[in-house]
Amino acid sequence: GRTFPAFDKALKPMKVGQISAPVKTMFGYHIFKRLPVPNELAGSHILIAYKGAMRAAGFIKRSKDDAKKLATELAEKLKKDPASFPQLALKNSDGPTARFGGNLGIWHQGMMAKAFDEAILKLKDGQITAAPVETPFGFHIIKRNSLASAKAGDAKKPGDKKEPAKK
């Protein structure tokens, strides 16, 4: 539905691994191979960035060591009170999803940094990483969310506030 009708027509009946006959469009001829769709995942995270981390905002001044220390402190708090995850994300996360309680929604496996994917795949729904996970973006505390709940739009947002809290 999001491509040329000729592409949809060719791809729809194909099975994984199958190669299509040539498909003609105004751009030329195309041959498709049907690949498996990666696993879908749902989760939330608290990102603690540091100066020099990939895509870190200019106002981030903390060192890598300070970022790891803060992320470790937050992980310890979450061990005692896992239900506080959305509030801690709202207050502490440097990621753009902070205002949504860290909720990342749904994505396909392989779209996140390798260490992030590896960590979330080890978790069961509702579980939170025991220690921060390092990626090029900083340190993450990751929570695996139920895919069914995420698809139903049941992700909890802290207070459903329209504007993010000021740090």
- Tell me, letter by letter, the H, E, C secondary structure of 40-89: EEEEEEEEECCCCCCCCCCCCCCCHHHHHHHHHHHHHHHHHCHHHHHHHH
pLDDT at 164: 39
Q: Which amino acid, residue 19?
A: I
Contacts of 21 (CB under 8 A, 6+ apart): 10, 31
pLDDT at 38: 85
pLDDT at 154: 59
| Spatial separation of the C-alpha atoms in residues 75 and 64, rounded to whole Å | 16
pLDDT in tens, 86-115: 999 999 999 999 999 999 999 999 999 999
Determine if the pTM surpasses 0.85: no
Instruction: Provide the H-helix boundaries in the chain.
Output: 5-11, 64-80, 85-92, 114-121, 147-152
| H or E element in which residue 157 lies | none
- Which residues of the chain carry a pLDDT beneath 70? 1-2, 154-167
Half-sphere exposure in the Cβ direction for 123 (13 Å, CA): 26
| Spatial separation of the C-alpha atoms in residues 99 and 164, rounded to whole Å | 5
SS3 at position 110: coil
pLDDT at 50: 98
Q: Which residue is listed with tokens 């769709």? A: 37
pLDDT at 3: 75
| Spatial separation of the C-alpha atoms in residues 91 and 99, rounded to whole Å | 8
